Structure 1
Amino acid sequence: MRYFLPWAFLALLAAVPILLPDPYTLSVLASAGIFIIGAISLNLLLGYTGQLSLGHAAFFGLGAYASALTTLGFDIGIGFGQRITLAPQPVWFGFLAGIVVPALFGWLLGRLAFRVRGAYFVIITICFAQVLRLLTLNWVELTQGPMALSGIPALSLWWPGLDAPIALFRKDQIYWLVLAVAAVAFLLVRQVVRSRIGRALVALRENETLARSVGIRVTHYLVIATVISAGIAGAAGSLFAHSVRIVDPDVFLFIYTVTMVIMVVTGGKGTLWGPVVGGLLFGPLPDLLRGSAPPEAQWIAYGVAMILIVMFLPRGIVPAVASLWPRRAAAKPAAVAVEAEG
């Protein structure tokens, strides 16, 4: 049963476009799925290393811009009469660039930022996101600045027997694509946290001094976690760019990082299913309330739900539910013993 439930849950999610074919609902769920991917990536840092990154939207935005610019192409001057030109590339090459470029910046940021801890690391990540936002806002020749990059091509799918790739325009197609990428991201993070790397990360989170004393290379493993986390967040940003098909500097806004943090904390940080559960709850909630309540009531309900979860389930939804299973398992033998004595 333990191994059957995840596959049944995945099958249920895959059947949503068939059970609920409404385009608006699928659009909301696909958007929530993109941020769930971002929350899964953030959980690797926040949940398993204990490092709070409040600039995680930087990797999300880098993925969006890297993928968009690769598929659209660009021609920019770099001074001294020199120019850099890139012809438009296939969309899946752009998607790959949306993963590699944030991963490279994650490596660079990790090498620099993990020399410090605590509030200093948080400040560095926030500044990193704000610098990228200002850069994309003012480098008009490359990013179009506030006018945004538009006309980004949709991702396409091809398999043997087709004369041409199928562009994924429809809401159900985008939903299934997001679901597939989310499943791959989930499995990748699960593989990492169950490996030697994951055990080292948890050791660092629990007691960094003790981890150092037994020979764990702190910066090495933290940088690995940052690279993987940044790459997954970049994949989410790339999906965002090719599904919305327009990208502007607002993709680096702080609210996107806050949204991912809320998903991780309410679902249960340091658990595999925490970001998924938190994302499914708080991702679609504002949009689902939009048609039934005024804007003020929507955000009040959103805030109240979050406060109640944090107050009564401080470890998150998933750890709270998981803690019920041992009690039930222990209660059953106790009940049998009482009946036997009776």
Structure 2
Amino acid sequence: MRIKEEIGMNNSTGILMVEAIELIKRYDNIYLVSHVQPDGDNIGSTLALAKAIEKFKGGIKVIKVDDIPSDYQFLPGIDMIKNYDINEPIDLLISLDSSDLNRLGLGKEFARKAKRVINIDHHITNDNFGDINIVSPSSAATGEIVYEFIKKMAVDIDKDIATCLYTAISTDTGSFIYSNTTYKTHLIVAELLKVGIDVETININLYQNRSMARTKLFIDSMNSLETYLEGKVGVIAVTQEMLKAYDAKMEDTEGLISFVRGIDSIEVACLLKEIDKNEVKVSLRSKKRIDVSRICNKFNGGGHIRAAGCTINERLPVTKDIILEEILMNFR
């Protein structure tokens, strides 16, 4: 069987993609948007699709809903992400990598105003908020879905698009080591490598470019590590005081939770990020046993079986007690 057949989506998804492409052909004022606190899959898949639509018909706009982390400033087309006036005409909004409208931040208002909404995502907790919902929880990253979508558009994947897609898939699979990585992931990446992307430069930007501020924050946060259930659960915290001490940003917490999950005894890793005095963002990761998306769903969050998050509007110590109790219950 040829590779392009091996990595194709199922028939129903393919039909939805054709319907979505027809909307792209029909409408002129098209906006792309992704979630707040952007990550590699978010930014990579959005820019890849934006560049593809630009080649397909032009006139695409990408809404900035949050600051772009420095890790991704190297991506081709990053300057396409801009602030736009909500009063401008909008026919079609395409949402990428967001499980619900609230995750879009100010993009939610653009979605409400749009004539039609296309929702492209891979989160199992997606609530199908679009008029067309291309949602594939079995895909390792939204970038995988966007790869198939671009192929369905019959747009050639050039080096810029391939660079964005590789970044999307690599970051959401932990550089291809997470359990969501499948044979399809490797087949898609093989096709991207054929295009001639500069993998060395991409990987240096993504994984070998840690600032001294991030390094100091990493060391301090690891000093806060507490373990429970004979080392099966690990919890670390990043406070506003820590960020100020090292002149670090919240984006500098990238990689912390993966390090904790990498400890041999750990089944569930928890990172608590103090956003404000009464607002804490919780990130959970697990290895094999625990479905952390179920835990986060109880706090109006979501994500994947092995990676999920939520926000709890309490002080940090209270949040820690609340989420820890819920985690420990799942071991019983």
Structure ranking higher in strand proportion:
2
Specify the TM-score bucket, using the shorter chain as the normaliser. Answer: under 0.3
Name the structure, 1 or 2, with higher relative contact order (CA <8 Å, separation 6+).
1
Tell me the TM-score normalised to structure 1 length: 0.26
Structure ranking higher in helix proportion:
1
